[in-house]
C-alpha cells in the first residue's frame, strides 16, 4: 500500500462498464483507476492505493488516508475557538448599548482574549 496527495483527476473513458480516471499524484506517479460513477477522492485528498499492474500503471483505490491532527493544528483550533468566543461575548455585551461601534466590539474582544490567554 502506498499513499500520496491527489493533484489532478481526468476522466479518460470507460472500461467494462466502469469509468476510467487518470490521476496524477504529488509523488510524481500518474495512475489509472476504475470507479463506478465519479472518482471517490478529490484534488488535495491524500489517498491510500495499491498498484495492480506496473506495466499499465493501474491501481486500486483503498480509501482516503486519515489525516491525524498535529499539535500545531490543535493549538490553532483552540486559539480560533477562544477568539470566536471572546468576539461573541463582546458583541453580546455591546448589543444593548446605544453608542457602540465595531471598534468597541473588537477592542473589548481583544481585551477578553488577552485576559484568557495571559490569565
CA atoms within 13 A on the CB side of 21: 22
Q: What is the CATH number of the domain that holds 49?
A: 2.40.50
10 and 36 in a single domain? The answer is yes
54 and 92 in a single domain? The answer is no
90 and 46 in a single domain? The answer is no
Number of C-beta neighbours around residue 86 at 10 A: 21
Q: State the average pLDDT over residues 48-77.
A: 84
Structural domain boundaries enclosing 6: 2-64
What is the pTM (predicted TM-score) of this model? 0.56
Q: State the average pLDDT over residues 28-48.
A: 93
Domain tally for the chain?
Answer: 2
| pLDDT band per the 50, 70, 90 thresholds, residue 107 | very high
106 and 75 in a single domain? The answer is yes
Residue 115 has pLDDT above 80, yes or no: yes
78 and 50 in a single domain? The answer is no
Residue 97 has pLDDT above 90, yes or no: no
Amino acid at each position: 500500500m502506498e499513499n500520496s496527495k491527489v493533484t489532478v483527476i481526468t476522466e479518460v473513458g470507460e472500461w467494462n462498464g466502469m469509468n476510467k480516471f487518470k490521476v496524477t499524484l504529488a509523488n510524481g506517479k500518474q495512475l489509472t483507476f476504475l470507479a463506478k460513477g465519479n472518482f471517490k477522492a478529490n484534488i488535495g485528498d491524500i489517498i491510500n492505493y495499491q498498484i495492480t499492474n506496473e506495466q499499465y500503471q493501474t491501481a486500486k483505490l483503498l480509501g482516503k488516508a486519515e489525516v491525524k491532527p498535529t499539535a500545531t493544528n490543535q493549538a490553532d483550533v483552540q486559539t480560533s475557538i477562544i477568539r470566536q468566543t471572546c468576539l461573541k461575548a463582546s458583541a453580546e455585551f455591546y448589543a444593548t448599548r446605544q453608542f457602540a461601534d465595531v471598534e468597541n466590539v473588537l477592542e473589548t474582544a481583544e481585551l477578553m482574549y488577552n485576559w484568557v490567554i495571559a490569565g
